[in-house]
Structure 1
């Protein structure tokens, strides 16, 4: 989802993946395996960090 917005995977350590956007500030870290379900609160936090959801 965040990759569709232009976020690029820049770092992986264990099950944590960090994404950077060429135009937006900061990094977005996503923990866990891609096959795992993400809790709704965690998903909302990721979307807010990526600027894909309003506060």
Structure 2
């Protein structure tokens, strides 16, 4: 059974992506991004609330992580 993904702050998202091997955030354009080799992930701009599960799931699909792998980061 897969573990749930929960909303989290932008700082925690960045920390998890760094744990997955991404570097950044790198400023440029309207949104910052994080890089791992040639792989580029766009991350949301800072705001008051947490990042929702739907957006986190989209990021997870882009980098190929399961719920379990994501929660271990």
TM-score by length of 2: 0.54
CA contact (8 A) 1:15 1:33 kept: no
Per-residue CA distance 1:5-54 (angstroms, 9 max, x = gap): 110116214772211113xx531001121753111100100111122238
Q: CA RMSD in A?
A: 2.5
5+ residue gaps in structure 1? none
Structure with more relative contact order (C-alpha pairs < 8 Å, separation 6 or more): 2
Larger radius of gyration: 2
Greater per-residue helix proportion: 2
Instruction: Give the TM-score taking structure 1 as reference length.
Output: 0.67
1:28 aligns with 2:25: no
Q: If each structure's strand is expressed as a fraction of its own residues, which one has the higher value?
A: 1
Gaps of 5+ in 2: 1-15, 68-73
SS at structure 1 position matched to 2:27: strand
Given the alignment of the two structures, is residue 38 of structure 1 paired with residue 38 of structure 2, yes or no? Answer: no
Aligned residues: 52
